[in-house]
Chains A and B, each alone.
Chain A
Amino acid sequence: NAGVTQTPKFQVLKTGQSMTLQCAQDMNHEYMSWYRQDPGMGLRLIHYSVGAGITDQGEVPNGYNVSRSTTEDFPLRLLSAAPSQTSVYFCASRAQPGLAGNEQFFGPGTRLTVL
């Protein structure tokens, strides 16, 4: 199993450009999430999905879109990049609820810089 994979690892954008951060998992996990990590602020939840076709907003959703057409993939779209979106982005997944304490697996992260 590859676990949770993210592409690209690094990306530089200009203000106003759009792009998609890719996330895939091969563990058949129902739950997937996107977090951003900023210095001194820990990780904050952007969007999450509890299954294919179901998504919801997290703590900091503005400026980001998501969709979940398959169990495996959960892309994060930046429609019009802004310097405030410069951050490290993590995708995470875990098995469906009911499994006590089931672990959340994180991808390796994408470092995004918006100029």
Chain B
Amino acid sequence: AQTVTQSQPEMSVQEAETVTLSCTYDTSESDYYLFWYKQPPSRQMILVIRQEAYKQQNATENRFSVNFQKAAKSFSLKISDSQLGDAAMYFCAYRRITGGGNKLTFGTGTQLKVEL
């Protein structure tokens, strides 16, 4: 079974600084997707960024980028120029490409605080 581990329950960052959230996963599959979701206090789950495992290039979306290390099964999220609106719970998630229905396997989340 696939597992996703986020070892940082809480992180803090100063506004305009950079922060990196860690995620590791375990799978026997060779092809899969990895995601970072943001959950603000409104509870809405918002997709931040996704990575296809077969792509070597790290995904980037504006201030958000990932460091995908397939051999190490590591998938960290870097937030540059942090803003107050980035404060939220961040979840790392995994999904198989074939089979498995619609199952996303989530980590336990990292609560990010942004300080002035």
- The count of residues in chain B whose C-beta lies closer than 8 Å to any C-beta of chain A is 20
B41-56 interface mask toward A, CB cutoff 8 Å, 1 = contact, 0 = none?
A: 0111101001010000
For residue B106, which residues in chain A have a CB less than 8 angstroms away from its CB?
42-44
A35, A92, A104, A108: residue with the most chain B Cβ atoms closer than 10 Å: A104
Which residue of B is nearest A111, CB measured? Answer: B43
Stretch at the interface among B14-22, B62-70, B96-104: B96-104
Shortest C-beta distance, B41 to chain A (Å), equals 12
Contact between B109 and A45, CB atoms less than 8 A apart:
no
- The count of residues in chain A whose C-beta lies closer than 8 Å to any C-beta of chain B is 29
- CB contact under 8 A between A45 and B104, given known A101-B33, A104-B47, A106-B45: yes
Contact between B107 and A100, CB atoms less than 8 A apart:
no
Report the bound CA distance from A108 to B45 in whole Å: 8
- CB contact under 8 A between A31 and B101, given known A42-B107, A109-B43: yes
Residue B91 at the A interface, CB < 8 A?
yes
Contact of B103 among A48, A100, A108, A111 (CB under 8 A): A48
